[in-house]
Structure 1
Amino acid sequence: MQTAVYRAPVYEPTVDELETLKKLELGEDVSLGAAVKEYLSRRLLERGFVVQDEEKHWHITDTGRLLIRRTL
């Protein structure tokens, strides 16, 4: 039996996700280890709000910036 992954039709970021996006917007370094400690959801990466470089550091995308501006 195959399990389907449910995706809600509307994406609502968590407080932790918004906080992390704001840190990235301000230029703070968020590594994979820090993201795990802060319970950063993989949804940010899956939805294109952040990207990872070769060193596994997170960087905010233009889409992530738009999300911050929309929710402020």
Structure 2
Amino acid sequence: MATTQSTYHAPVFEPTVDELETLKQLEIQPVMSVPAALHQHLSGRLLEWGYLRKLPDGSFTITDAGRKLVQRQEP
């Protein structure tokens, strides 16, 4: 019998430096194509936590929650 494993989510999202850089890039340039996302090593965690969303054409864009996360990290 196959068992299903659920994805563990920590109670608080602590973004990595690369994840913050990706969010900042998407704040400047609102849409990122799939090749650019692969080049940036787009983190699946950003999608899972709702900081990014995938558009119907397959590109990625930042959500309001992602913008708030970037703004919170600014000094």
Into which bin does the TM-score normalised by the smaller protein fall?
A: 0.7 to 0.9
1:63 shift after superposition: 0.4
Match of 1:32 in 2: 34
TM-score between both structures, scaled by the size of structure 2: 0.80
Query: Where do 5+ consecutive residues of structure 1 fail to align?
Result: none
SS at match of 2:60: strand
Instruction: Tell me, in whole angstroms, the C-alpha distance in 2 between the residues paired with 1:8 and 1:57.
Output: 27
Amino acid at match of 2:45: R
The number of residue pairs the alignment matches comes to 72
Q: C-alpha deviations, 1:20-70, integer Å up to 9, x for none?
A: 111111125421222122211111111111111121111111100000011
1:8 is matched with which residue: 7, 10, 13?
A: 10
Aligned sequence identity (%): 47
Instruction: Tell me, in whole angstroms, the C-alpha distance in 2 between the residues paired with 1:16 and 1:58.
Output: 16
Instruction: Tell me, in whole angstroms, the C-alpha distance in 2 between the residues paired with 1:16 and 1:43.
Output: 12
1:6 shift after superposition: 2.2
Runs of 4+ in 1 over 3 A off after TM superposition: 1-4
Larger radius of gyration: 2
